[in-house]
């Protein structure tokens, strides 16, 4: 099971890295083209925006593992340990339900936009909208593997380096 988890985490990290590298390359080339050669690509902003959304949604599960999601810990740390753990498990349940509903609604959104075209690229709007259900599914997988460690606050940051052990 640990091998499967490590493989999924590595695949998720690779997806985020590739997507963000593509955003960097597209924006860099467009800026150089615009200011260096007085020419830019009309589609660059749209594609970069869609890729950034995919990167953000896809990276949410990794941020969870590393303890990098925004959290307010005031209430849990004030509670006795057993109530703190119960509250943290409730938070896991809420995250699971929220991302499950968001993923389901994302699928509906993809279906809604599939017959429409984007402004610059002319591709189906459903394609960039896939970022929502893909990101939610990745988050749910990460949460399923990491829930127990999340409750224990056993995040994967060690001296600034994240790892799956």
For the segment 101-147, what is each residue's pLDDT rounded down to a tens digit?
999 999 999 999 999 999 888 899 999 999 999 999 999 999 999 99
What pLDDT band is residue 154 in, cutting at 50, 70 and 90?
A: confident
- Return the pLDDT at 159: 45
Is residue 160's pLDDT more than 80? no
pLDDT > 70 fraction of the chain, expressed in percent and rounded: 95
Alpha-carbon distance of 148 to 27, in angstroms, equals: 39
Does the CA dihedral 84-90-92-95 come out positive or negative?
negative
State how far the alpha carbon of 127 is from the alpha carbons of 109, 114, 115, 123, 161, in Å.
10, 7, 10, 7, 33
- Return the pLDDT at 71: 79
- Return the pLDDT at 14: 95
What pLDDT band is residue 88 in, cutting at 50, 70 and 90?
A: very high
Contact by Cβ (8 Å): 162, 66: yes
Q: What is the mean pLDDT of residues 23-45?
A: 92
Q: What is the mean pLDDT of residues 37-60?
A: 92
């Amino acid at each position: 099971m640990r091998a499967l988890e490590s493989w999924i985490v590595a695949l998720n990290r690779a997806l985020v890295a590739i997507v963000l590298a593509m955003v960097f390359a597209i924006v860099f080339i467009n800026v150089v083209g615009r200011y260096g050669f007085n020419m830019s690509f009309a589609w660059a902003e749209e594609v970069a925006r869609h890729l950034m959304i995919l990167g953000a949604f896809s990276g949410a599960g990794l941020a969870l593992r590393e303890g990098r999601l925004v959290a307010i810990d005031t209430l849990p740390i004030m509670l006795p340990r057993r109530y703190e753990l119960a509250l943290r498990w409730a938070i896991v349940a809420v995250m699971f339900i929220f991302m499950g509903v968001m993923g389901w609604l994302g699928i509906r959104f993809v279906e809604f936009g599939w017959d429409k075209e984007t402004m610059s690229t002319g591709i189906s709007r459903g394609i960039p909208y896939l970022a929502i259900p893909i990101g939610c599914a990745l988050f749910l997988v990460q949460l399923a593997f990491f829930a127990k460690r999340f409750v224990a606050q056993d995040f994967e940051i060690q001296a600034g380096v994240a790892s799956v052990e």
